[in-house]
Structures are given as C-alpha cells and as structure tokens.
Structure 1
Amino acid sequence: MTLSTLLTWSLPAVIALASLEGLILTFVARRRYDWLSFAASLTDVLVREYLVYTFVGISLAAPFIEFAWQHRLTTVPLNGVASFALLFLGQEFCYYWYHRAAHRVRWFWATHAVHHSPKDFNLGIAYRFGWTGRIAGNAVFFVPMIWLGFAPKAVFAALALNLLYQFWLHTEWVPKLGWLEYVLNTPSHHRVHHASNYDYIDANYGGALIVFDRLFGTFVGERADLPCRYGLVKPLISHNPIRIAFHEWINLVSDLRAARSWREGLGYLFGPPGWRPRESATIVPTRSAPGVL
C-alpha cells in the first residue's frame, strides 16, 4: 500500500473506528456518550475536507512555502533511513512549536480552540480541527524544513502521518504504557493536554513524541488524584458546527473592536488566549480566560 493510498483511506477508517468506539461505550459499557458532539465533529471534518479544502484556495502560508522552496539551502533526497529520520524529527520539532503557539498565541488559538471545545474525550473528537487553519497560516511553522531542503510534499505527508498517529491518543480507556511514556506521546499525556484543570493546562504539545516537552519544560504527567476535566476553561455550550468553528474568531473580533490603542490590538491578536490590558485584568493567563502578558 502506498503512502497516498494510506492517507486516502485514513479518513473513512478513523471515522469508522470512532463510530465503533461510540457504539461500544453506549451499548456495551453502558456509558453516556455525546452523539451530538460526535455529529458536530463529523460535520467539521467532512466540511473541511470536501468543501473548504476543495473550494477555498486561500492559504496565508503558501507564499512563504513557495519562497522557501525556491531559495532552499540544499535539496535533501529521501533515499535512506537517515534522511527519513531527519524528516521525522524535524517535522516533530516544528509541530511542537506550532502546537505551543496554537495555545499561547490567540491568532492561532482561534482555530485550535475548535479541537479543544468538546467536553468529552474520545476518538470522535480527534478529527475536529476547524475550517480556518489555512487562512490563519498554520503551515508557516513548517517553512524552515522546506528552506533546509525537504520537499513540501514530503514535509506535509510527514505531518499527515503525525496527525494520523495522534488519532488513537484521544481515549480514556488506554492506561499508562510504562517506559513508552518517557518517549512517546500517549493517551495519558494527551488526556492532560486536553484537560482544562489549572494544574494541567497548556502542556504536552508533542505530536508522536513527548521528548521536546520534557526538553523545553512543558511536560505535565497525569495524576491519579486529579481527574482530567475536558473542554475550554469557559465551556462552549453548543453543538452547532458553525458556532464551534467561528466562536473564538467572533470573540477576537469583538475584543479588537474594543481595543483603545494599537498596542491593545496587538495584545489581543498575539497575546495568550484571554489576554486583557493590565489595568483591567484580574487573574493570571489561562486558556480562554482573562490574563495579563
């Protein structure tokens, strides 16, 4: 099976697996399962893949990608284990910084908040990414790989495989995995990442690996005495896919309209989620809650 075939069939496969998990949790485990949230996530991915990506060609990162490839330092041939290993590690490093910025820079958080909006944690939320990633320019974080000489198709194929790996991380029923917890991103680490508890918030940004979180001080382990509470700090009470996709952009525009100076405007755009001017802030910065830079 070629990589192209694998990626083509990955979407129906993950939807089928998420549906199977939902059915098992509902009828076998007799647990509450939010099928409206499942439907919202399914709508999100189908609209993104078959409408937005097909008919909306705008990409803020596209000019930077083209410029980097035209002015690349070299061309890295993918003809051996070493080159594929460099591609994997380089893409993982870039993904870590993209993911960290997606939580700490409101411009990128406006799209990424969609992924964190569900109040449950299951395979059905794994492909809820929103519709504005290309317009926001998320791919700009992978431009350094292209400038160094990796072909854009190779870089974004590696990213697609990274995201495919992360599908199985979105589950509560997989326990900690022993020594693998020190190297790989696991369901336990990702449960912490999706939690909105104060002690867990904004941690574990890795894709397939957890080593960069350990290296850069953003790793937080799951605690038996602190169950994860999922969703946004200020919960989004809606299953409307359109509201889910644009709620944080609407909040951002509202804050920009209320800005009293260009400095405040920049703070709202590029500060952490919920940033407020110092004189009006009351609590420390947290995901989607007021704070001060």
Structure 2
Amino acid sequence: MLELLQFAIPGFVVAILAELAWMKWRGGVAYDLRDSTASLTMGLGNLVDGALLALALYALFGWLYGFRLVDWGPATWWTLPLAIVIQDFCFYWSHRLSHEWRLWWAAHVNHHSSQHYNLSTALRQPWTGFFALSWLPYALMPLVGIPVEVIATAHGVSLAYQFWIHTEAIDKLPRWFEAVFNTPSQHRVHHATNPRYLDRNYAGTLMIWDRLFGTYQAELAEDPPRYGIIKNLGTFNPVKIAFHEWVGIFKDLRTARTWRGRFMALFGPPGWREDGTGSTSATIRAAWQARQVGGAIRDKGALPQAAE
C-alpha cells in the first residue's frame, strides 16, 4: 500500500496545482491558504496513525487469516479485483458507522471540518482512527480468505481513487459511470451540510452499496452543496480539528446522569444530547422535510386564490 501511495503522491501534487490553476482561471474562490495548510498538516499527522494501523493490523489480520472461512488458493488475475470489491463493502460500513456512532465520528469528523471542497480536502485525514477502532469492519477480509498483502494493496487502491473525487472542477460524469462508481458530484453530496444531503453517499469506490442500502442521494442543481459540519469549528488549528470531538465526548461522559446517557455519548448519533437539546442528522432532515411538506400544502392552498 505504501509503495502505491508513494507513486500516487507526485500525481496528487500535480492535480492540486492543476485544480488551483483552474479555479483562478474561472474567477472562483481559490484555495484558502490557512484551510489547505490545516488539511496538509492533518495528512502528515495521519501518516503516524496509518503506521500504527499498518503494524497492528498486519499482525492481527495475518492471525485472522489462519481462521479463514474460504481458501481461494494461489493468487490469480481476479484476486485483486475481488479484494477491491470486498474492501469497498467493508469501507462502506466503516464509513457509515463513522457517521452514525459518535465514537467513530470523533476520528472521522476532521475530514468533514473544512468549509472548502478541493483536492487538498482529501488529505485532511484522521489522527485517531487507530484508537477509535473504526477499522474493525475490515477484519472481514482475512476471514473470507483475502491475504494480508492483497488487503493492503486493495486499501491503497481505494485511498488513491478517493483523492480525485474531492473537487468542484468536474461536473457530473456519464450516467453509466455515475451509476457504478463514486464521482466528484456524488461525493460533494457526502461532504455537504444541506439537510437533504446529510449522511448520504458513503461510497469509497463503488456507488452500488449506497443504492443497495438506501443511502444514495444525487446532487441537485437547485440545492448546491454547502460544506463543513453542522457546527463549524472556526479554527485552522490542526490539534483542535483532530481532538475537538473527543473533548466533547469526555465532557458528556463526565456530566451524563444515566448509564444510557454514557452509552449514547459513545455510540449514539453525533449531535445527540441526554437533555434532548441536541440535533442529529435524522432530526435535522425530519424538520426540513416537515417544512417542505408544510410549504407545499400552503402553496396548494394558495392556488385557488391566485386563480381568482
């Protein structure tokens, strides 16, 4: 995996420079230097988290491989494509639970904390994924007979693929491609805070999982994405970006009045509060949908008056 990313990094640099030139040419908002610096710093810090994961998971997954339920035999031409599909399935559930469980969200939230959406945002990666245990779904891979070395390569392919989709420079792609693969348009939805877009499009490489499990949402021209998180941080300090949600969890654990409150502080949806004052993605979307329905009813009620 590391070798693959080493080859990809020069391409990342060229792509960022090309995107920056495109943004200046079209007269739009260029990169914010402070925001991009924070993203790059987060990416460098993620190398430590990634090294810890690589060391621990190489040993753990090698041990789990000894209990594999299927033995695919010697590697063939289809071993890596199969591993990429299985890895992407595991990524979907790791990513989805990282939005639904606050403990995993504490590690993942920093990736969403930028209010800009460009290729540097792709490098804004977690520092605490190892400790949050959000890698657990990938344990399925050695158990279904994928060798550790192939798992590492499939993960590297996934990471490299997901870099290019963090851009506004590419509009929607051909319908067949959008139907199967994750694209910039579909990932812009994922990073948006618009109520209709919250917690949608968890895909890594393949969009088939979102369509299968009911979490797909197309980008709509009438509802352009607004980026960031529900309560934006207002800081470019990488340490605060990396640990602010962990601080919030510890505060909620300390002040929780019940065991349910403590449990939900760790495994409830982000935004949940024991006193009922919080707003989760589900409650925000429900309130928005209620407003949409109420507006539609009022519009229908106004039609006869307008016709008179």
TM-score of the aligned structures, taking structure 2 as reference length: 0.84
Give the greater-gyration-radius structure (CA). Answer: 2
| Aligned position for 2:41 | 43
Superposed, which structure 2 residues align to 1:114-193 within 5 Å? 114-179=110-175, 180-193=177-190
- Note if 1:216 corresponds to 2:213: yes
Greater CA drift, 117-126 or 10-19: 10-19
Query: Taking structure 1 as reference, are residues 154 and 273 closer, same or farther at Cα in structure 2, changes over 3 Å only?
Result: same
Counterpart pick for 1:112 among 108, 112, 116: 108
| Separation (CA, whole Å) in 1 of partners of 2:249 and 2:169 | 36
- Note if 1:6 corresponds to 2:4: yes
| Aligned position for 2:257 | 260
| Aligned position for 2:67 | 71
Secondary structure of residue in 1 paired with 2:36: helix
| Separation (CA, whole Å) in 1 of partners of 2:46 and 2:254 | 28
Greater CA drift, 244-253 or 9-18: 9-18
Instruction: Mark the runs of 5 or more structure 1 residues left unpaired by the alignment.
Output: none
Over the matched positions of the two proteins, sequence identity in percent amounts to 38
Report how many residues are paired. Answer: 283
| Separation (CA, whole Å) in 2 of partners of 1:61 and 1:226 | 41
Counterpart pick for 1:21 among 10, 19, 22: 19
Instruction: Mark the runs of 5 or more structure 2 residues left unpaired by the alignment.
Output: 287-308
Secondary structure of residue in 2 paired with 1:169: coil
| Separation (CA, whole Å) in 1 of partners of 2:250 and 2:141 | 32
Secondary structure of residue in 1 paired with 2:16: helix
Secondary structure of residue in 2 paired with 1:126: helix
Greater CA drift, 182-191 or 72-81: 72-81
Once the 2 structures are TM-superposed, how far is the Cα of residue 45 of structure 1 from its aligned partner? Answer: 1.2
Query: Taking structure 1 as reference, are residues 57 and 178 closer, same or farther at Cα in structure 2, changes over 3 Å only?
Result: closer
Query: Taking structure 1 as reference, are residues 178 and 74 closer, same or farther at Cα in structure 2, changes over 3 Å only?
Result: closer
| Separation (CA, whole Å) in 2 of partners of 1:57 and 1:68 | 15
CA-atom RMSD in angstroms: 2.5
- Note if 1:207 corresponds to 2:204: yes
Query: Taking structure 1 as reference, are residues 17 and 77 closer, same or farther at Cα in structure 2, changes over 3 Å only?
Result: farther
Once the 2 structures are TM-superposed, how far is the Cα of residue 60 of structure 1 from its aligned partner? Answer: 7.7
- Note if 1:286 corresponds to 2:281: yes
Once the 2 structures are TM-superposed, how far is the Cα of residue 159 of structure 1 from its aligned partner? Answer: 1.5
Secondary structure of residue in 1 paired with 2:231: coil
| Aligned position for 1:270 | 267
The answer to whether the 8 A contact 2:19-2:169 is kept is: no
Counterpart pick for 1:236 among 233, 237, 251: 233
Query: Taking structure 1 as reference, are residues 250 and 167 closer, same or farther at Cα in structure 2, changes over 3 Å only?
Result: same
Once the 2 structures are TM-superposed, how far is the Cα of residue 82 of structure 1 from its aligned partner? Answer: 3.3
Secondary structure of residue in 2 paired with 1:199: helix
Q: Deviations over 1:33-87 (max 9, x none)?
A: 21111111111112322x4555x57988677535422322243346334333321
Counterpart pick for 1:83 among 76, 79, 83: 79
| Separation (CA, whole Å) in 1 of partners of 2:98 and 2:92 | 10
| Separation (CA, whole Å) in 2 of partners of 1:14 and 1:119 | 20
Q: Which one has a larger percent helix, Structure 1 or Structure 2? A: 2
Query: Taking structure 1 as reference, are residues 262 and 42 closer, same or farther at Cα in structure 2, changes over 3 Å only?
Result: same
Secondary structure of residue in 1 paired with 2:253: helix
The answer to whether the 8 A contact 1:145-1:155 is kept is: yes
| Separation (CA, whole Å) in 1 of partners of 2:53 and 2:160 | 23
| Separation (CA, whole Å) in 1 of partners of 2:59 and 2:101 | 21
Once the 2 structures are TM-superposed, how far is the Cα of residue 285 of structure 1 from its aligned partner? Answer: 1.8
- Given residue 198 of structure 1, which amino acid in structure 2 is its aligned partner? P
Query: Taking structure 1 as reference, are residues 4 and 249 closer, same or farther at Cα in structure 2, changes over 3 Å only?
Result: closer
